[in-house]
């Protein structure tokens, strides 16, 4: 059989295109902000992960420009060999200090971070306990490792404990969870995860891609939010959300970080983060460190939007984060909601299986600390209008 045979014929995305509700690859002609130009039209952006609003911060932009001028456009190699710049090391030192961890290593993307961390630390005789609603990069990291992955029901601590009991005492165990689940905005039950891990001698890894800059008094994430910063063994995070750049990281003890640096194939065989991205991330981190009030502002924005949706009787998945998701249940209604909202100047994201369970399609909205109340008022009104048109209850 021809390898390309699978590309022939009609696929789901072809049908969606034919129906005029294809929701992907809409082009921006401006930078990320609370209001953008999308395909030539003013659009309220409530579908990005620009949580602290730093992608348009002049200081962050200028830092990126200066990094580009000094170091050039790229590093031309991996961190392992010729691709380490002094600013890579400075970023790692600054981030370790901010997170109250001994050491940090950086990866070229957030997705690559989970691939590199999990495959680097989990061996052939080890087990990974993975929340069913973890990010796709965690799943791929588990597949890339030689360990055995066991999924537990989403945020279900009874199921987690039931499954960890079945693992041989001689095995190494890593419990991996999103800190903030990216589709629902829910926060993991970290206190119970830590309790179970201690009871059974497991290690805990938290993917804080959507927690850094979002949770905790200083924006250090899920562990700070729960007062458990000394109880999480590995933090994973990304620079592409709150830190307004590109790349990812692992924070842990010096021994663990040094081990993963020498065993992680995605780290060893990938080019390092570009200078402009490193410089931008450093400046964004500096701003977060000096201005924790941005974290408070972000929470206020999320709370205000929930209040507006409550006033309109719009049902959403309960959360306290800047991610607010609304079930449409049917895939087609999710696509249609996105289309109708975009026509009205509001951008949201459609989420369908496998990113969410079959029959639980949703529109995912997410907010920035810099959103203005009038932008939120306009967006909430139009969401209500579109949901009524689609008869989504």
HEC string of 89-148?
A: HHHHHHHHHHHCCCEEEEECCHHHHHHHHHHHHCCCCCEEEEECCCCHHHHHHHHHCCCE
CB atoms closer than 10 angstroms to residue 166: 8
The reply to whether 26 belongs to the active site is: no
Q: What band does 1 get if pLDDT is binned at 50, 70 and 90?
A: confident
pLDDT exceeding 70 applies to what percent of the chain? Answer: 100
- Answer yes or no: do 187 and 257 share one domain: yes
- Measured CA to CA, the distance from residue 178 to residue 141 in angstroms comes to 13
pLDDT at 9: 87
Whether the per-residue pLDDT at 307 is higher than 90: the answer is: yes
Segments of the chain assigned E as strands: 35-38, 41-45, 103-107, 127-131, 148-152, 173-178, 203-207, 234-238, 248-252, 323-329, 346-347, 349-351, 361-366
Output the six-digit token pair for 111: 């997705």
Cβ atoms 374, 329 nearer than 8 A: no
Single out the catalytic residue among 48, 182, 245, 270.
182
pLDDT at 378: 98
pLDDT at 10: 87
Residue at a domain's end among 255, 274, 290: 290
- Answer yes or no: do 360 and 326 share one domain: yes
The CB-side HSE value for 104 (13 A sphere, CA atoms) comes to 23
- Answer yes or no: do 320 and 183 share one domain: no
pLDDT at 47: 97
Distance from chain centroid for Cα 353: 18
- Answer yes or no: do 161 and 64 share one domain: yes
CATH of residue 119's domain is 3.40.640.10
pLDDT of 213-240, one tens digit each? 999 999 999 999 999 999 999 999 999 9
- Answer yes or no: do 106 and 235 share one domain: yes
- Answer yes or no: do 152 and 284 share one domain: yes
- 62: domain range? 58-290
Q: Report the interhelical angle of 136-144 vs 110-121 (nearest 10°).
A: 30
The reply to whether 210 belongs to the active site is: yes
Distance from chain centroid for Cα 126: 26
Q: How many domains does the chain have?
A: 2
Average pLDDT of span 333-352: 97
**Model pTM score:** 0.95
Average pLDDT of span 196-218: 98
Query: What letter does residue 230 receive in the DSSP assignment?
Result: T
CB atoms closer than 10 angstroms to residue 200: 16
pLDDT of 279-299, one tens digit each? 999 999 999 999 999 999 999
The reply to whether 182 belongs to the active site is: yes
Q: What band does 270 get if pLDDT is binned at 50, 70 and 90?
A: very high
Single out the catalytic residue among 88, 101, 135, 210.
210
Single out the catalytic residue among 88, 241, 371, 382.
241
- Answer yes or no: do 296 and 343 share one domain: yes
Average pLDDT, the chain: 97
pLDDT of 132-143, one tens digit each? 999 999 999 999
């Amino acid at each position: 059989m021809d390898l390309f045979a699978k590309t022939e014929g009609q696929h789901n995305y072809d049908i969606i295109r034919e129906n005029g509700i294809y929701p992907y690859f809409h082009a921006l002609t401006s930078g990320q902000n609370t209001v953008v130009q999308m395909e030539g039209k003013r659009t309220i952006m409530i579908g990005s992960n620009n949580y602290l609003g730093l992608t348009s911060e002049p200081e962050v932009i200028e830092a990126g420009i200066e990094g580009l001028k000094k170091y050039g456009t790229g590093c031309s190699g991996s961190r392992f060999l010729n691709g380490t710049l002094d600013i890579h090391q400075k970023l790692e030192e600054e981030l370790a200090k901010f997170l109250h961890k001994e050491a940090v290593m950086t990866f070229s993307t957030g997705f690559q971070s989970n691939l590199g961390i999990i495959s680097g630390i989990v061996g052939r005789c080890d087990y990974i306990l993975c929340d069913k609603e973890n990010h796709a990069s965690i799943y791929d990291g588990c597949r890339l490792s030689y360990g055995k992955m066991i999924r537990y029901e989403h945020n279900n601590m009874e199921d987690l404990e039931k499954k960890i009991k079945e693992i041989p005492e001689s095995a190494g165990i890593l419990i991996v969870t999103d800190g903030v689940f990216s589709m629902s905005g829910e926060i993991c039950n970290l206190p119970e995860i830590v309790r179970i891990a201690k009871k059974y001698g497991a290690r805990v890894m938290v993917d804080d891609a959507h927690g850094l800059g979002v949770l905790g008094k200083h924006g250090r994430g899920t562990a700070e939010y729960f007062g458990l910063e000394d109880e999480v063994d590995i933090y994973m995070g990304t620079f592409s959300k709150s830190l307004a750049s590109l790349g990812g990281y692992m924070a842990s003890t010096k021994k663990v970080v040094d081990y993963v640096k020498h065993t992680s194939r995605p780290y060893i065989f990938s080019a390092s983060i570009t200078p402009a991205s490193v410089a931008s991330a450093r400046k964004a981190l500096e701003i977060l460190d000096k201005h924790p009030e941005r974290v408070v502002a972000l929470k206020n924005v999320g709370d205000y939007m929930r209040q507006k949706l409550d006033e309109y009787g719009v049902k959403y998945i309960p959360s306290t984060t800047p991610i607010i998701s609304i079930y449409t249940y049917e895939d087609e209604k999710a696509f249609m909601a996105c289309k109708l909202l975009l026509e009205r100047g509001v951008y949201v994201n459609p989420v369908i299986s496998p990113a969410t369970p079959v029959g639980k399609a949703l529109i995912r909205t997410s907010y920035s600390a810099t959103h203005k109340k009038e932008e939120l008022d306009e967006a909430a009104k139009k969401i209500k209008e579109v949901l009524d048109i689609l008869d989504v209850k």
